[in-house]
Amino acid sequence: MKMVKSLLLVSAAGLVAASGAQAADLPVKAKPVEYVKVCSLYGAGFYYLPGTDICMKIGGYVRYQVNAWAGNDISFGPLRGVSGNDTRVSEDTISQRVRALLSMDTRQQTAYGTLRTYMIMGYTHDTTNSTLGPSVATGSNIYVNRGFIQIAGFTLGKATSFFDFVSTAAVAYNAGFVATSDTGDAGQIVGAYTAQFGNGFSGTIGIEQSRRNPTVWTGAAAPGTVAAFGTAGIAGAFTTNQGGLVNAGASWLPDVVGNLRVDQAWGAAQLAGALHNVNAGYYGAGFNTLSGHPGDQWGWAISGGLRLNAPMIGPGDYFQMAINYAEGAIRYTSFSGCAQGPLCERFSGNTFGWGQSEDAVFWGTAAAPGTFDLTTSFSVFASFEHFWTPALRTSLYGSYFEASHSANGNASVCGAMKVSMGLAAAMPCNSDYQVWTVGSRSQWNVTKDLYVGLDVIYNKLQSASLNNDQPFFTAAAPVANRPAGVYQTGDQDQVSVTWRVHRDILP
């Protein structure tokens, strides 16, 4: 019996030892996996970054579009640069664009309110300027068009300008062809503070990167008395700023921008203003620091905007408009289109339309200063968007833009134009011009995130005038791909069409 008990005890001890050895051989139990959690505090698409209280949303889009008769500048249209020459070597009939954007939005609660950072990186490739050859990737670039921090009412970085109100891209694929202050995809570098007054009322004050257009020097002496100026002949009107030489000083002050705004159920309204420093380089072209320069001036701009929701017509329908006026700050009335550069032009046969879009013109020397005259500009934009069904919408939009000069400014621009082209000083000339635009875009949302649409736009340039739009210049030989013959100024127009396919990824 004692022997049996001893065997049982030995067996039990062995089992315990074996059991302990097996337990020691088992792997250590893994810690629970920290799954990404949904952050519903800021809307759909946000997730907590693991191990933090930061919520992030990744989004973006991919877009393909085909443009017809837009010139060689899909962004700004057929009235700018060599597009206006309207020849087989200067203007693409059909062009394409591919654009892909990636956005990142982060939010975090702090003792000072929500801390937000936002960034958009993009890639765009346009097929324009195809005459440069297939090996040249024109229009292809990578960029960041948004990158800002927001906290406690401050917005710091690259964002939407606080002068802007209407969104042209919301209703038009050809947004750059219309006249409005909207900076659109380009955005602005801003440093601003927004105060919330309650009931949808707010006010913003801050500084923004300067919306500079060139200042133009039109000669060393009184207009019309210079023996030679710039590029002689009509060829200059096809390729350069014919009414003077671009002569801008470096930007040394940002623009000051402010607004008062209200957002409520019926829509929104805004009043905005801007102060803009206008300066020049030295008198003359390529002159040095001993040549002197005119004193700086302050340009300014004001804007009024209105948005009215129209659910009584259809769910989602709305009307928006903005009116802008500026002196010496032309890109506050039109950020794109004809105001994008110093010269707007368009040819048709032996007639051509033209207009300058500078902040100011000046003439003279240090010893005999002339005048420094700010250019006046005005624009109005309006649109209406109607939803036929939740998936099908149509917008109708239009704009009007004008640029005008004082008597001295007109004499300066016209004098430089006539001297450069060898025209009689007494020839009638009016450097003021206008641009009309009307368009319509229809869009079908195939799914919530995929749409297909068509945009048709008409641009009309009411040209600045030489010789009251009568024949005034004879080109003895072909110049800038235009034939020899008699030329005259006259109004120009153009129809452009855009077809687009667009896929959003968490907008």
In this predicted model, what pLDDT tens digit does every residue of 154-189 receive, in sequence order?
A: 999 999 999 999 999 999 999 989 999 999 888 899
Q: Where are the beta strands (DSSP E) in 265-391?
A: 267-278, 297-309, 318-327, 343-348, 351-356, 360-364, 369-374, 376-389
Q: How far apart are CA 310 and CA 387, in angstroms?
A: 11
Select from 386, 493, 495 the least CA-distant residue to 439: 495
Q: How far apart are CA 171 and CA 453, in angstroms?
A: 11
What pLDDT shows up at residue 286?
Answer: 67
Do 72 and 90 meet the contact criterion of CB atoms below 8 Å apart? yes
Select from 8, 70, 133, 131 the least CA-distant residue to 500: 70
In this predicted model, what pLDDT tens digit does every residue of 317-336 receive, in sequence order?
A: 999 999 999 999 999 999 98
- Residues pairing with 259 in the sheet: 204, 272
What pLDDT shows up at residue 285?
Answer: 66
In angstroms, what is the C-alpha Rg of the chain? 31
Identify the segments of the chain with pLDDT beneath 50.
1-24, 131-138, 226-232, 235, 238-239
Q: Give the number of other Cβ atoms within 10 Å of residue 23's Cβ.
A: 8
Locate the domains of the chain by residue range: 32-505
Q: How far apart are CA 91 and CA 83, in angstroms?
A: 5
Provide the pairing of β-strand 360-364 with 215-217. Answer: parallel
What pLDDT shows up at residue 20?
Answer: 46
DSSP class of residue 30 equals P
**Which DSSP string do the residues of 214-233 spell out, in sequence order?**
-EEE--SSSTT--S--SS-S
Q: How far apart are CA 16 and CA 334, in angstroms?
A: 88
Residue type, 351: T
What pLDDT shows up at residue 10?
Answer: 42
Phi/psi at 179 (5° precision): -100, 110
Do 416 and 237 meet the contact criterion of CB atoms below 8 Å apart? no
Q: pTM higher than 0.85 for the full model?
A: yes
Phi/psi at 78 (5° precision): -85, 5
What pLDDT shows up at residue 506?
Answer: 76
Q: Give the number of other Cβ atoms within 10 Å of residue 397's Cβ.
A: 27
Q: Which homologous superfamily is 32-505 in?
A: Porin (2.40.160.10)
**Local structure of 132: helix, strand or coil:** helix
Phi/psi at 228 (5° precision): -150, 145
Q: How far apart are CA 52 and CA 233, in angstroms?
A: 68
Q: How far apart are CA 283 and CA 288, in angstroms?
A: 8
3-state secondary structure 36-60: CCECHHHCCCCEECCCCCCEEEEEE
Q: How far apart are CA 125 and CA 116, in angstroms?
A: 30
What pLDDT shows up at residue 230?
Answer: 47
Q: 298 Cβ partners below 8 Å, 6+ apart?
A: 275, 276, 277, 278, 328
Residue type, 399: S
Do 96 and 112 meet the contact criterion of CB atoms below 8 Å apart? no
Largest CA distance in the chain: 141
Q: How far apart are CA 462 and CA 489, in angstroms?
A: 10
Burial track 8-17 (b if 16+ CB lie within 10 A, e otherwise) = eeeeeeeeee
What pLDDT shows up at residue 507?
Answer: 66
What pLDDT shows up at residue 139?
Answer: 53
Burial track 35-63 (b if 16+ CB lie within 10 A, e otherwise) = eeeebeebeebbebeeeeebbbbeebbeb
What pLDDT shows up at residue 23?
Answer: 44
Q: How far apart are CA 374 and CA 300, in angstroms?
A: 10
Do 207 and 188 meet the contact criterion of CB atoms below 8 Å apart? no
Helix (H) or strand (E) holding 12: helix 2-25
